[in-house]
């Protein structure tokens, strides 16, 4: 089977100086790093799927233990005073230990791997969040009108408000609604609920949905930062209009023209389209079917010294972006050993990890792999989740989890852009999730995953039947896609974009998933989400004929 790797590291494009005048990083003081290795991992049963891979940086598969032990880092630089705005981590006493894991039956049934730091004396690195912010993001202030909306939501109905610019709900044409879900039970919006659903709401999300999602994140990931002080990276969450909306706001919060950012190509084309206009230098980190290769990441980072992160002129990478499960387009998933090695490099070189995980719930084997969020002792992980793949893509409900000082910046951006995610869809999702409970939601996730597993098997059967000898691929670990390399054809762009359509088959050429999308690529992406098994078989039969004609 083919290995889906990057095209190798290219030198980054030259851009203007990395930081404009007034940027917070331009005057950042020395950062004291108190590094330490990760502690132990706990898991529900069996061996973690994520650990069944390779030594950090290695390519040869082996079965590894799930232990998270690693050596201590070093301490460098003088201590610094507490930042008054809460954007610098306080170098004081260690934060309280995270809340103990509640071994609820639903979590046990789902085999979620819990990876968290050793509770005995582990200390996080001091995070200087100010250095990651653009000047525009650092300058954002709360919107007075949005703050008023927050206050009004907590006030009793007896309050007489002459301040709010909310339209009178009695003028809305929609009065009630009844939505029937798959088990036949209705979700009812009476007149009072409908008035709320059609009105402005809080920028971070409605409280009942935020609370439900926070409990879910704690159950699935047990973030070490859940009980940290606010200025030391306490975990926070905001709801966004789909995870893409949240990610775009995260990128705009962090990236100045000329900043260096890391990712592994091939990668979701929407991410590239969001990053390129920001003028950053996108540096590829080679990967294979087990995800990013830590040794390759270490080689990319070797042009800097760990202490360079304290000097903005050195322009060290701001973040590593990755889709750790079912990467779009390859279907690759990072192993837990590689995640641990990557996280230690993030600590050493002081960059953030943006964990974009829309296919987390579509992993085809259990136990589910531990996440970067589950091992984030520093508060350097920003995680993007989505309900699009398991509830509805049209509802546009995603959520961003990360350190509070950064999540607050995302919320401030929301206050002056989209204002808030749709109140109606938030209430609809909240009503559904509260009706199901966590067990019901995870049972639904299992049914959805079973469907996509069967779809994947059908597409693989068609590929084996028609494309054997003509193409190479490997079995996706999660998600909705098969990444295929056609043998003997240097560039398949014209064949996929023109000739395949003439044969009434639509796929995506591989070049759109690379930083340089003008370069030739022998790959294409096939989705198994919607077509029937019969249609998949017919599509690959037509494609096989086209390949033979083109050779």
Report whether 398 contacts 384 (CB < 8 A): yes
DSSP state of 240: E
**What span, in angstroms and rounded, lies between the C-alpha atoms of 493 and 516?**
14
Q: Are residues 385 and 288 in the same domain?
A: yes
**Residue 40 pLDDT exceeds 70:** no
- Considering 2-6, 50-54, 80-84, 448-452, the range whose residues carry the highest mean pLDDT is 448-452
- Assigned domain for 62 exists: yes
Q: What is the CATH number of the domain that holds 294?
A: 3.40.640.10
**What span, in angstroms and rounded, lies between the C-alpha atoms of 106 and 219?**
9
- Assigned domain for 123 exists: no
Q: Are residues 288 and 326 in the same domain?
A: yes
pLDDT digits (tens, 9 = 90+) for 149-185: 777 778 787 887 777 788 999 999 999 999 999 887 9
Q: Phi/psi of residue 187, each to 5°? A: -110, 120
- Assigned domain for 484 exists: yes
pLDDT at residue number 110: 54
pLDDT at residue number 1: 46
pLDDT at residue number 91: 38
Q: Are residues 161 and 254 in the same domain?
A: no
Burial level of 212, CB count in 10 A (0-12/13-18/19+)? Answer: middle
Q: Which of 174, 199, 224 is the C-terminal boundary of a domain?
A: 199
pTM to 2 decimals?
0.79
Q: Are residues 152 and 228 in the same domain?
A: no
Helix, strand, coil in percent for the chain, rounding step 5: 40, 15, 45
Q: Are residues 358 and 417 in the same domain?
A: yes
C-alpha distances in Å from residue 184, one per residue of 60, 179, 194, 439: 49, 9, 21, 18
pLDDT digits (tens, 9 = 90+) for 75-116: 333 333 334 344 544 433 443 433 333 333 333 335 555 554
Q: Are residues 58 and 79 in the same domain?
A: yes
Mean pLDDT of the chain: 83
- Assigned domain for 434 exists: no
Q: Are residues 173 and 214 in the same domain?
A: no
- Assigned domain for 283 exists: yes
pLDDT at residue number 214: 97
**pLDDT band at residue 215 using 50, 70 and 90 as cut-offs:** very high
- Assigned domain for 216 exists: yes
Q: Are residues 413 and 505 in the same domain?
A: no
pLDDT at residue number 336: 95
**What span, in angstroms and rounded, lies between the C-alpha atoms of 129 and 376?**
15
Mean pLDDT of 404-425: 96
Range of the domain at 543: 448-550
- Assigned domain for 57 exists: yes
Q: Are residues 465 and 405 in the same domain?
A: no
Share of the chain above pLDDT 90, in %: 70
Number of domains into which the chain is organized: 3
- Assigned domain for 126 exists: no
Q: Which residue reads 């709320």 in tokens?
A: 196
Mean pLDDT of 472-500: 97
Report whether 346 contacts 124 (CB < 8 A): no
Q: Are residues 416 and 452 in the same domain?
A: no
Q: Are residues 28 and 91 in the same domain?
A: yes
Q: Are residues 418 and 455 in the same domain?
A: no
Q: Between helices 404-415 and 243-254, what is the axis angle to 10°?
A: 110
**pLDDT band at residue 9 using 50, 70 and 90 as cut-offs:** very low
**Residue 54 pLDDT exceeds 90:** no
Q: Which of 164-173, 330-339, 340-349, 460-469 has the lowest mean pLDDT?
A: 164-173
| Sheet-wide strand order for 281-284 | 235-240, 398-403, 381-386, 352-356, 319-322, 260-263, 281-284
């Amino acid at each position: 089977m083919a290995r889906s790797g990057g095209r190798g590291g290219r030198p980054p494009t030259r851009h203007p100086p990395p930081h404009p005048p007034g940027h917070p990083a331009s005057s950042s003081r020395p950062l004291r790093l108190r590094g330490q290795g990760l502690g132990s991992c706990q898991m529900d049963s069996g061996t973690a799927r994520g650990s069944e891979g390779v030594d950090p940086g290695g390519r040869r598969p082996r079965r590894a233990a799930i232990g998270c032990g690693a050596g201590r880092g070093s301490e460098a630089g003088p201590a610094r005073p507490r930042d008054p705005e809460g954007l610098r981590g306080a170098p004081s006493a260690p934060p309280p230990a995270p809340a103990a894991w509640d071994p609820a039956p639903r979590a046990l049934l789902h085999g979620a791997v819990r990876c968290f730091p050793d509770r005995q004396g582990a200390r996080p690195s001091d995070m200087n969040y100010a250095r990651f912010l653009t000047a525009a993001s650092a300058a954002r202030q709360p919107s007075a009108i949005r703050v008023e909306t927050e206050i009004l939501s907590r006030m009793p109905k007896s309050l007489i408000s002459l301040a709010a610019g909310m339209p009178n709900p009695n003028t809305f044409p929609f009065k009630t609604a009844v939505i029937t879900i798959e088990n036949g039970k209705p979700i009812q919006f009476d007149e009072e609920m409908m008035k709320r659903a059609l009105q402005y709401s809080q920028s971070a999300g409605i409280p009942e949905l935020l609370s439900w999602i926070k409990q879910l994140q704690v159950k699935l990931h047990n973030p070490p930062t859940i009980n940290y002080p606010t200025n030391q990276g306490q975990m926070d969450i905001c709801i966004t209009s789909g995870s893409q909306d949240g990610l775009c706001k995260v990128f705009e919060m962090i990236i100045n023209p000329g900043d260096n950012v890391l990712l592994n190509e091939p990668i979701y084309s929407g991410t590239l389209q969001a990053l390129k206009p920001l003028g950053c230098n996108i540096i590829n980190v080679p990967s294979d079917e087990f995800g990013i290769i830590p040794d390759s990441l270490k080689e990319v980072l070797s042009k800097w010294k760990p202490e360079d992160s304290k000097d903005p002129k050195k322009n060290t990478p701001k973040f590593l972006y990755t889709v750790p499960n079912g990467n779009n387009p390859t279907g690759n998933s990072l192993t837990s050993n590689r995640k641990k090695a990557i996280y230690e490099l993030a600590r050493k070189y002081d960059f953030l990890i943006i964990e974009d995980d829309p296919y987390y719930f579509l992993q085809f084997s259990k136990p589910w792999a531990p996440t970067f969020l589950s091992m984030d002792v520093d508060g350097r992980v920003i995680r993007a989740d989505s309900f699009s793949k398991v509830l509805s893509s049209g509802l546009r409900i995603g959520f961003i989890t990360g350190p509070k000082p950064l999540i607050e910046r995302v919320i401030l951006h929301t206050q002056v852009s989209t204002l808030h995610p749709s109140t109606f869809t938030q209430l609809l999702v909240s009503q559904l999730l509260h009706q199901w409970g966590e067990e019901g939601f995870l049972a639904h996730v299992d049914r959805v995953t079973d469907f996509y597993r069967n779809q994947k098997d059908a597409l693989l059967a068609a590929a084996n039947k028609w494309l054997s000898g003509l193409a190479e691929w490997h079995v996706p670990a999660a998600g909705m896609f098969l990444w295929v390399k056609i043998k003997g054809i240097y560039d398949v762009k014209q064949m996929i974009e023109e000739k395949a359509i003439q044969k009434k088959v639509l796929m995506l050429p591989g070049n759109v998933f690379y930083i340089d999308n003008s370069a030739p690529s022998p790959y294409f992406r096939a989705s198994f989400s919607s077509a029937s098994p019969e249609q998949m078989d017919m599509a690959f039969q037509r494609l096989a004929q086209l390949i033979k004609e083109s050779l």
